[in-house]
Structure 1
């Protein structure tokens, strides 16, 4: 068992390769956060979908503002854990020594969506279909790929963040190929003929498994190196799933904090956008949330919250949203999973059961009444078609259509899978706006010029 004083967790992969010592945590985690903030992938999140299309308004949340809110909530969760873990005599609970610093949790939260492709989950499914024979595509896996290879901070090791930051970002510690190999239904799908008319493609059959790419396995193994063999085996174990993609069951301490922050932002902050757009009526909220038997059992707030949330005042709505977030943040506590030896796996951040149940109710409400309504799904579908057609054309004509930099990578790629991964990386890095403009330039006769700067 290592201790906090050992440099295992502040080490960067480049330092590991060159046998260089790790730097102190106060320096490393601050610079991890800075590398994320100053990366091109982070800036591009300002033009990637959260829920609503970017053309709807410049007021509503994007992946960038979502990531910033997740980071702020993540810091609040850590602060609350310190507060509840310190008694009146300033004696601290054992877990406090293992909590992430504010710099570290913000770096993890800000980085958690870097691999998000254009057009949200729709774009992810489209890329996975085109990459189904070449290692697949998955948003979380793409995030680690940016940290490990694509980020601009180092020539070969991406943003080259510390081991602990990389661990915190890995929500699903399993390799894509291992997950798909255990899904007989998906293996049968892979034998189907290529669909060339993408309008006939059943998109929902190609949702990717939650996983990491085989290409990043070396970094994956390095991140897990400080754990015992037993901890590693348990951490990467896949839960049984009949006829569907298996998922890992466990997450590291920092990841549990980040995921709670992400869920709170999704269930509450995204609700604010839906209310502001008048997509959710007060009567629907009253029927499906306030009068839901589960909410009535726990009643975390009263009707005054509803009045504020649906007031015509943005100030009143903001006050309600802030109050809801605060209620969730203040319910966090640390649980222990005795099946693990290492504190970073044994300690788990959770919400109190009643708060977790209400948050799940809010997430379900947003999913049912916002994410999956036809108006939103239609825009997602259009984005999928853009991604599929772009990939098809780039695959057929890489020398003519790829940028000079991307084509050089394509030519130098040693295998067909590596070549296809270059195309995938190129499209995944596009913003919604860039992808739509490139599509119009290539396929709309009245659009496009050699002087266009996409």
Structure 2
């Protein structure tokens, strides 16, 4: 592994040269990425994708959008501290503007880190993976693949099949930003190479040994050329971009505390019981000064007869716990800086920090009271049926199109339910004429379906499923 260099890591180049006419010198290229995506439909869809509790009618519990905004705020703060350290103490950054670039890079990648998540969160990923695992082993697939081979297509290779069997929201986010968030051409939002490299949490393909063992990968077969460009121009390989560790830490800090807060609001987490037991013992033993302050806030709230005291209590705890973890993560990055830059660092910053035990305590609370909550489990089972049946419906139709569709046959009608933008993007051919839908390979047709279904919001998926099942009229 070669040592990474910040001059390449902070790469503001794009696949297609930017055509922006309005230029402000104080805006760096990562700030422009933020401005490109903040108005996008892909980001807006996150407001109806579950963080923990799906299909909520209240306006308090977090969605993927509010979670992403919180992660972006935390990530920017952490990155500023690291940037100033690299400038003033390490003397690696040459000026303030490089520190600003790092903060902007982490902020925008935190904002878009969940862009590729399908409906029903990480469970939605599991559903898609399981569906394709079964489908690729079926006689139906064997018959379909034979038909495509007879018509001149090549068999799906191992990487192409693994793209679906190990379907990964992070890889889908790369695909959205580099292709699917359509504006004028096949380059999507045309994000900077530095942002795309940072967003790639698992910089290897789906047929890599890491993917088969960890069930995680960073890019689809369709983006393999983009990955080669990132390797060459940004300097990542199988080693992560250093800013990826800051993104991951901000994500962990945000969800570890916020999920518990949402659980208290939903009355799934018995806060007073946990505070008097787990929190009191753990903080009293490990962070006595912090616990004293926390107890002062609690007693003050009781004295002043503050309404919703449990919610106020968990919010004070959240702020305190986040502060502890932020400080620990910054220290961890500094302590492991050399191995991070050399690509030999293992694990994540929080796991390798003084706050490791705090992380474990928070995870245990969330698992016990939030992720096993009856409402969460019930709605995830609803999602299981919805996504499985949508995949049955759309894959079956899309793979059968063998002539230019006119919306007369059943499968042609179903194809026209797929986003017109996604259909258009699949027919674009770089450096050549546009192709027709019926000329798409089997791999690209399957991608069209996963692009469409993974892009759905929770409510849209449920509503479309009900309409196609005849339960509800359009």
Fold conserved between structures, TM > 0.5: yes
Q: Does 1:392 find its partner at 2:417?
A: no
1:210-229 to 2 correspondences below 5 Å? 210-226=217-233
Contact 1:69 1:265 in 2 (8 A): yes
Residues 1:341 and 1:300: Cα distance change in structure 2 (over 3 Å): same
The residue that corresponds to 1:32 in the other structure is 33
CA spacing shift, 1:412–1:149, aligned 2, 3 Å: farther
**Which residue of structure 1 lines up, in the alignment, with residue 414 of structure 2?**
401
Distance 1:8 1:15, change over 3 A: farther
**Which stretch shows the higher mean deviation, 383-392 or 329-338?**
329-338
What CA deviation, in whole Å up to 9, does each residue of 1:220-268 have, x standing for no partner? Answer: 111111366xx73xxx2xxxxxxxxxxxxx5321111111110010111
Cα deviation, residue 217, structure 1:
1.2
Give the CA deviation at 1:211: 3.8
> Which residue of structure 2 aligns with residue 194 of structure 1?
none
Structure-2 change in CA distance of 1:407 and 1:157 (3 Å): closer
Residues 273-307 of structure 1, C-alpha deviation per residue, up to 9 Å, x if partnerless?
11222211121344334324x97245572165267
For structure 1, which runs of at least 5 residues remain unmatched after alignment?
A: 184-206, 237-249, 450-454
TM-superposed CA distance for 1:143, in Å, is 0.8
The corresponding residue for 1:204 is none
**C-alpha spacing 1:181/1:118, structure 2 compared with 1 (3 Å):** closer
Shift of 1:407: 5.3
Question: SS of the counterpart of 1:430?
Answer: coil
Match of 2:17 in 1: 15
Counterpart mapping for 1:339-358 below 5 A: 350=349, 353-358=353-358
Match of 1:254 among 237, 243, 254: 243
Listed as ranges, the matches of 1:45-444 within 5 Å are: 45-82=46-83, 91-96=88-93, 99=99, 100-132=101-133, 133=136, 134=161, 135-136=163-164, 137-179=167-209, 182=212, 208-226=215-233, 232=237, 236=238, 250-281=239-270, 282-292=272-282, 296-299=285-288, 301-302=290-291, 304-305=293-294, 308=297, 312-313=308-309, 314-315=311-312, 317-331=314-328, 332-333=330-331, 334-336=334-336, 338=338, 350=349, 353-398=353-398, 399-402=412-415, 403=417, 405=420, 406=422, 409=426, 411-412=437-438, 414-444=440-470
1:381, distance to aligned residue in structure 2 (A): 1.8
| TM-superposition CA deviations, 1:146-196 (whole Å, max 9, x none) | 11211124421221111111111111111112248855xxxxxxxxxxxxx
Which of structures 1 and 2 has the bigger CA Rg?
2
Deviations 1:88-129 (A, max 9, x none): xxx432355565433222111001000011011121111223
4+ residue runs over 6 A deviation: 344-349
Q: CA, structure 1 residues 128+24, in 2 after alignment: closer, same or farther (shift >3 Å)?
A: farther
TM-score normalised by length of structure 2: 0.74
